Amino acid sequence: ETFNEQHRLQFHFTPPSGWMNDPNGMVYHNGEYHLFYQHNPDSTVWGPMHWGHAVSKDMISWEHLPIALYPDSLGTIFSGSAVVDMNNTSGLGTKENPAMVAIYTYHDAEGERAGRDDFQTQGIAFSLDNGRSWTKYKNNPVLKNPGTRDFRDPKVMWYEEGQKWIMTLAVKDHISFYSSPNLLNWKLESDFGANVGAHGGVWECPDLFKLKTQDTDEEKWVLIVNINPGAPNGGSGTQYFLGSFDGNNFVIDPQFEASLNAKPVIATTVNGQEGIWLDYGRDEYAGVSWSGVPEEDGRRLFMGWMSNWDYANVVPTEKWRSAMAIARKLELVNTPAGMRVASMPVKELQNIYGTTKKLEAQTISNVLDISDKLSINTSTYDLQLRLEPVGTQNSFAVELSNAKNQKVLVGLDASRGQYYIDRTKSGDHSFSDKFSGIQYAPRLSNDKAFDLRLVVDVASVELFADSGKTVMTAIFFPDEEFTKVKLVTENGQLKLVSGQMTDLKSIYS
Ligand code: FRU
């Protein structure tokens, strides 16, 4: 494999060839981060799903492995999770060599075509050799379908306090929680969400975990619910809820619920849509977190698919389709809008750092040509800027561009008080009339200074603003790579307090 085709990302995960969507089975075990993924090896469009597989020591550089799970007589293999059964509750491994267990959805396409409603069930498979070879459990499915067309994407975790497994499952317009002593027999505990949050589409790919605040050690449970369509900027997106979980029920946090219900939802509404979102950009979906990360590490690590169902099947790449967004660390933070989940790139991104060049503090009128000033000529970099208004707040943007006058703008729209990404002139968008346009996100900080971090890779930009309180991910397809970077201000001045740009090395070099 060469990994150097047009638009091929250089440090984000992509399948060597064929189609990819959701990340699946993310689990850390014996020093390796596993990433499985929804994969159609025979085509660059969605089709019969397999679980592709890769491993990494740092979530940045990946070793591609053979396909882990193939379709069988029960169906194709839809999304799901993986755990390590440390206490051998399933009996599928031993205490000395615990089984890695994948819990996934069987999608029986024939059943669907025949007009049945029970064509999605949950199955499991296990591996005793660090995920290198897999055996499907003989009594699959372990959870049958009660008669609901959308019944999928099991995310399983060990609930220590109750010494049982909890499965968080997406069921059309709500989440169902199931419990099990052994991963083999499952019992319905409760349902959540039919009347709360965004409901512009089907609920998919959930996740449930506990998170601590950095400063006060306060704890909340986070329930992630991906949804398609119904995202704030259209198509698919990742919403979440804060609350508590007692092994039976998820109870939404009253303050969080109040901010969901407030009308207008000043700090959280974009384009009049409801919900609170982990990433407001068009191109982060189906994101969930890694299980099995050691307690000493203490991080909650998250990764999403970097596309949108509005156009994922038609983006202009030839050999492969879609990438994963960069791995992120999630954190609970206090904001003027209440407690929220912030995300930042994992620190391991430093493993591919090239040279860092610093910008001098200065006042900018109209434009600062960053790539020119720093003599940097790359389309893969990490740019960090701290900006302050001079006088009244004016709009500003980081402009990524090429010699063909194609560009993407990532900045602040002062009239809305919101961040935005504008890809209306970003190059090819002929493949879909849903691709072009401007996407917005709320600002969740009252700080005078704007902290912007842009992680840019050939055909993608991820904005982490105000220490990750606002995140936006967007992809683009220019005719020539965007190697120019400028900071532009609209009718006014802007103070650059500090800034630095680091070029990022290709994970294939
Ligand atoms: C989300 C999703 C899941 C499903 C999978 C199928 O993108 O629709 O709900 O399991 O993709 O590929």
- What ipTM was reported for this prediction? 0.99
Cβ of 38 closer than 6 Å to ligand 1, yes or no, is: yes
CATH of the domain at 197: 2.115.10.20
Instruction: Check whether residue 173 and residue 92 sit in a common domain.
Output: yes
Q: DSSP characters for 436-459? A: -SEEEEE-----SSEEEEEEEETT
Q: What percent of the chain has pLDDT over 70?
A: 97
Q: What percent of the chain has pLDDT over 90?
A: 92
Instruction: Check whether residue 370 and residue 278 sit in a common domain.
Output: no
- Give the number of the atom of ligand 1 that is nearest the alpha carbon of residue 236: 7
268 confidence band (pLDDT: 50, 70, 90)? very low
CATH of the domain at 434: 2.60.120.560
23 CA distance to ligand 1 centroid (A)? Answer: 10
Cβ of 171 closer than 6 Å to ligand 1, yes or no, is: no
**Which residue is catalytic, options 22, 279, 283, 310?**
22
- Classify residue 2: in a domain, yes or no: no
Note the pLDDT of residue 263. Answer: 59
Instruction: Check whether residue 268 and residue 356 sit in a common domain.
Output: no
Q: DSSP characters for 114-163? A: TT-S--EEEEEEEESSTTSS-EE-TT--SB---S-S--EEEEEEEEGGGT
302 CA distance to ligand 1 centroid (A)? Answer: 17
490 CA distance to ligand 1 centroid (A)? Answer: 41
Mean pLDDT score, 381-397: 96
Distances (CA, A) of 76 to 24, 137, 286, 391, 485: 14, 15, 18, 59, 44
- Classify residue 485: in a domain, yes or no: yes
Cβ of 105 closer than 6 Å to ligand 1, yes or no, is: yes
- Classify residue 462: in a domain, yes or no: yes
- Give the number of the atom of ligand 1 that is nearest the alpha carbon of residue 150: 9
- Classify residue 86: in a domain, yes or no: yes
- Classify residue 373: in a domain, yes or no: yes
Predicted TM-score (pTM) of the model is 0.97
177 CA distance to ligand 1 centroid (A)? Answer: 19
Name the residue with tokens 């998820």: 250
- Classify residue 335: in a domain, yes or no: yes
90 CA distance to ligand 1 centroid (A)? Answer: 26
Ligand 1 probe mutation, 79, 202, 321, 322, most atoms within 8 A of CB: 79
Residue nearest to atom 8 of ligand 1 (CA): 204
Residue nearest to atom 9 of ligand 1 (CA): 204
Note the pLDDT of residue 273. Answer: 58
- The closest alpha carbon to 289, from 343, 209, 220, 344, belongs to 209
- By the 8 A CB rule, do 181 and 224 touch? no
Cβ of 466 closer than 6 Å to ligand 1, yes or no, is: no
164 CA distance to ligand 1 centroid (A)? Answer: 26
- The closest alpha carbon to 258, from 278, 239, 276, belongs to 276
Give tens-digit pLDDT for 196-244: 999 999 999 999 999 998 778 889 999 999 999 999 999 999 999 999 9
Instruction: Check whether residue 450 and residue 476 sit in a common domain.
Output: yes
Instruction: Check whether residue 291 and residue 332 sit in a common domain.
Output: yes
User: Is residue 270 scored above 80 in pLDDT?
Assistant: no
- Give the number of the atom of ligand 1 that is nearest the alpha carbon of residue 78: 10
Instruction: Check whether residue 295 and residue 369 sit in a common domain.
Output: no
143 confidence band (pLDDT: 50, 70, 90)? very high
User: Is residue 261 scored above 80 in pLDDT?
Assistant: no
Instruction: Kindly report the average pLDDT of the chain as a whole number.
Output: 96
Question: What domain range includes position 449?
Answer: 351-504
Residue nearest to atom 6 of ligand 1 (CA): 78
Could you tell me what percentage of the chain is helix, strand and coil, using 3-state DSSP and rounding each to the nearest 5?
A: 5, 50, 45
User: Is residue 294 scored above 60 in pLDDT?
Assistant: yes
Strand arrangement, sheet containing 187-192: 152-159, 164-171, 174-180, 187-192
Residue 132 in tokens: 């290198």
Instruction: Check whether residue 116 and residue 247 sit in a common domain.
Output: yes
Note the pLDDT of residue 169. Answer: 99
Instruction: Check whether residue 222 and residue 268 sit in a common domain.
Output: yes
Instruction: Check whether residue 56 and residue 130 sit in a common domain.
Output: yes
- Give the number of the atom of ligand 1 that is nearest the alpha carbon of residue 305: 7
Give tens-digit pLDDT for 90-111: 999 999 999 999 999 999 999 9
Cβ of 284 closer than 6 Å to ligand 1, yes or no, is: no
Note the pLDDT of residue 213. Answer: 87
49 CA distance to ligand 1 centroid (A)? Answer: 9
Mean pLDDT score, 77-88: 98
Cβ of 22 closer than 6 Å to ligand 1, yes or no, is: yes
The answer to whether residue 22 is catalytic is yes
Name the residue with tokens 């109870």: 251
1 confidence band (pLDDT: 50, 70, 90)? low
Give tens-digit pLDDT for 165-184: 999 999 999 999 999 999 99
Instruction: Check whether residue 166 and residue 29 sit in a common domain.
Output: yes
- Classify residue 497: in a domain, yes or no: yes
272 confidence band (pLDDT: 50, 70, 90)? low
Instruction: Check whether residue 324 and residue 462 sit in a common domain.
Output: no
Residue where a domain terminates, one of 345, 363, 393: 345
Looking at the structure of the chain, the number of domains it has is 2
Name the residue with tokens 């369509």: 229
- Classify residue 8: in a domain, yes or no: no
Instruction: Check whether residue 474 and residue 430 sit in a common domain.
Output: yes
Note the pLDDT of residue 266. Answer: 41
Cβ of 21 closer than 6 Å to ligand 1, yes or no, is: yes
Cβ of 79 closer than 6 Å to ligand 1, yes or no, is: yes
